[in-house]
Structure 1
C-alpha cells in the first residue's frame, strides 16, 4: 500500500467508510485490512448480520429504507454491493422487476445526506445487460451520479483472478469520484505472481479450522452422479446410458440448452470457478478435485479469501455457503479501497500509473459475450 494512503490528509485519521448491503462483511474485512474505519454498516439478512457482528462489530440489521440517516456518523467513502440476484444468471434474472433490483436507488439518499468523496458499487456481470426506462441500467446510475450528484463515474468488468483472488469471478465495479483526473487510476494493479490453483489455495486446511467440518447435504441422486465425475470433468464425461432421462434430453439437443456444463469437478491445477450463493452442482463446481466430497464452508471461504479465523454463523450450513457466495472477496476489496483512497489523497498520477494493460478492465461499450475469450486468456497470466 502507498504510504499513509489510508489516512485522510485533511484529518490525519483513517478514511471513514459506510457499508450498505454489507452481507457477512467481505468488503468490510478488506477495508479493515487496509487500515480504514468502518463507521457503520447495514444488512437485512439476520444470518449475515450475526456473522458480521461476531467477526467485525456492530451492524444495523434491517431494511435500508428505514434507517434514520441523522443517527449515523459522517463518512468519506460509501460502499454499496446491492443485491445481485435480480441480475445474476444463478438468480431470478428479473432485474428491476424484482424489488431487490430497485435497491440501488436507496443509495441515493445516503449520497445526498453524506456527500461522500467516493462511492463504490459492485455487482455481477449480468448487471450490464439490464435495461432501465432510459437505456442501460449501469449508464442510468452513472448519469445520476454525474448529473445529479456532481461525481465523475467509471465502471469496468473485472475478472478478480487478475487481482489474486483464486477463482474466475467476473464482477462489475463502479467508482465515482469528485476529481475526474483520477478515474482511470481507481482500480488496483493486476497480480500475476501468485499460484491460484485449487490445491495450492486449499493448502493447510485442517479440521481444526472453524467451519471445515460443515458441508452441504446433497440429495442421493446428486451424490451418485457426482461420485462418477472424474477430475477435470463434468456430466459430459458420463456415458449416455447412465444419464437420467432429463439429462439425456439435454445431451440430445445441447445447442437448445446452451451447452450446459453442470456437475463439474475442476482439476487440482485449475483456478476455481465462481463461488455462488446457490452452491448446487447444477450451477457451481461443488466437488473437491481429489477427495470424494464436496467443498466445506471453510474451503469455500478460502476461495473467497476470507481469513481462516473468520467464523461463519447462521441458522444453517446452507446459509453459510450463501453468505460466502454473496460476499466481495476481502483480498480484492483491500486492493480496491487502497487505490480509491490513494486517489482521494491525490497521490501523484505517475505513482499510480497502471502496471497492466487497460484491456484487463474490459470495454463496457462492447457486448460482454464478445469479451469472454479475453477474460479467459488474461486469467491464465
Structure 2
C-alpha cells in the first residue's frame, strides 16, 4: 500500500485548453507530466500560468512515453454535442476526437480516466447507438475499467455558477466505483455579489471587456437587475424580437438579455459569451462582465493571467474551461483510490434525484445534480 505524500501522482492531459482541469489537479498535488491543446492562445495562457504544454493537433502527435501513469484527463471538444452548438455529434470532425483518447489509454494504461463534457453527449447518437454507451462499453470491455458517470451541477460543489456538466470516471478496482465522486459542498455563499467582492480595476484582466454593438448596449441598458428582455415594452423591441414575443411557445420561451440579480447564482459561463443569449450582463452596471469577473465565476485564482491575441479569445478560453475548484475536488477524491485509503461513508445530499446508474437504459437513469 502506498501512503499519500510518498509520491507525486502523474497526470496526462488531453484537450487541456487554458488549464482549468489541470490547475485543479495541480492544486491537489498532482504532477502534470504532459499536456496538449490545439488552440495557440489557450496554450500561451497555460504555459504562462501552469507549465509546459505541447501545442498542435493531438491526432498528429506522438503519444508520450509515461510509465505507471495515474490519471488521464480529457475534455474532448464539446461543441458537437452542445445544445448551444451545431449538435452535429460524430458527424462533426471534432465529434470523433474522443476516439483519440482510446489510443492514449491503450498505450499508457492509466489507473484512472476522467472525461468532462456537456450533457448533450448523453443524447448523442452514433451509427451503433448512443455515444455514451459506446464510450462506456469501450472502457469496460476493451480496457478493463469500471465506469461511473454523472451529470453534476457544479454549484453544488462550491462553484459560483449553475454549470451542469457530464463527468465520466473509469477505474480498475470496482470496490471504489461507488465512492469515486466528491461530496456535495454545504453552506457557501455563491451569490454574484459574494463572488465579485473585492474585484478592482488593478486586477489582471479586469479592464478587458468585449466590445458590443450599439444595439446590444441600447437594449442591455434597459434591462433591470434580475430581469431580461421580457421586461421591455413591446414597442421598443426590434422586429425580430416582436415576432418571437408574439409566439413564445413556438420559439421555446427564449430569455434574451438575462441580467442576474446580485443575490442570484450566475448562470453558465459559455465560450460564445453572446450578450443576447447568455446572462453575462453586470447586475448593476451597463456592461457585460470583464475577463477577470468571468474568471471568478469559473474559480480561477486572481493571479491567473489570461493571454491571447484578442479579448474574445480570453472569454472563449474561460468559457471552455473546467472550473479548477471542481477539478480539485475530483482530484482529491481520486486519491482514496490511487493511495488505497479508507473512504468515509458520508450521506450525500440528494439534489432533485440520485446518481446515474450505467447499468440502466439512459431514459430510466436518474441524475445527481
8 A Cα contact 1:39 1:75, kept in partner: no
Partner of 1:355: 348
> 310, 315, 318: which is aligned to 1:321?
315
Partner of 2:203: 209
Q: Which moved more, 1:220-229 or 1:63-72?
A: 63-72
How far did residue 46 of structure 1 move? 0.1
| 1:288 correspondence with 2:288 | no
Residue 69 of structure 1: SS of its match in structure 2?
Answer: coil
Distance 2:4 2:288 in 1: 50
Distance 1:263 1:256 in 2: 19
Partner of 2:100: 106
8 A Cα contact 1:8 1:15, kept in partner: no
How far did residue 139 of structure 1 move? 1.2
Residue 262 of structure 2: SS of its match in structure 1?
Answer: coil
Written as runs of structure 1 = structure 2, the 5 A alignment for 1:129-140 is 129-140=123-134
Deviations 1:85-136 (A, max 9, x none): 1111222211111100000000011101110000000001111110112221
How far did residue 348 of structure 1 move? 2.2
Partner of 2:303: 309
Residue 52 of structure 1: SS of its match in structure 2?
Answer: helix
> 129, 136, 140: which is aligned to 1:142?
136
Q: Which moved more, 1:285-294 or 1:326-335?
A: 285-294
- RMSD value, Cα: 2.0
Distance 1:156 1:296 in 2: 31
Structure 2 unmatched ranges of 5 or more:
none
Deviations 1:147-173 (A, max 9, x none): 000001011111000000000000000
Normalised to the residue count of structure 2, the TM-score between the two structures is 0.95
Written as runs of structure 1 = structure 2, the 5 A alignment for 1:1-381 is 9=3, 12-71=6-65, 75-349=69-343, 351-357=344-350, 359=353, 361=355, 365=361, 367=363
8 A Cα contact 1:157 1:363, kept in partner: no
Structure 1 pair 134/8, CA: closer, same or farther in 2 (3 Å)? farther
How far did residue 295 of structure 1 move? 0.3
Partner of 1:4: none
8 A Cα contact 1:197 1:271, kept in partner: yes
How far did residue 362 of structure 1 move? 5.2
8 A Cα contact 1:8 1:14, kept in partner: no
Structure 1 pair 360/191, CA: closer, same or farther in 2 (3 Å)? farther
8 A Cα contact 2:14 2:75, kept in partner: yes
Structure 1 pair 8/168, CA: closer, same or farther in 2 (3 Å)? farther
Residue 156 of structure 1: SS of its match in structure 2?
Answer: strand
8 A Cα contact 1:159 1:170, kept in partner: yes
8 A Cα contact 1:19 1:78, kept in partner: yes
Deviations 1:287-323 (A, max 9, x none): 1101221100000000000000000000000000000
8 A Cα contact 1:185 1:353, kept in partner: no
Partner of 1:3: none
Structure 1 pair 278/208, CA: closer, same or farther in 2 (3 Å)? same
Residue 11 of structure 2: SS of its match in structure 1?
Answer: strand
8 A Cα contact 2:148 2:357, kept in partner: no
Structure 1 unmatched ranges of 5 or more:
1-6, 376-381
Normalised to the residue count of structure 1, the TM-score between the two structures is 0.92
| Number of residue pairs matched by the alignment | 366
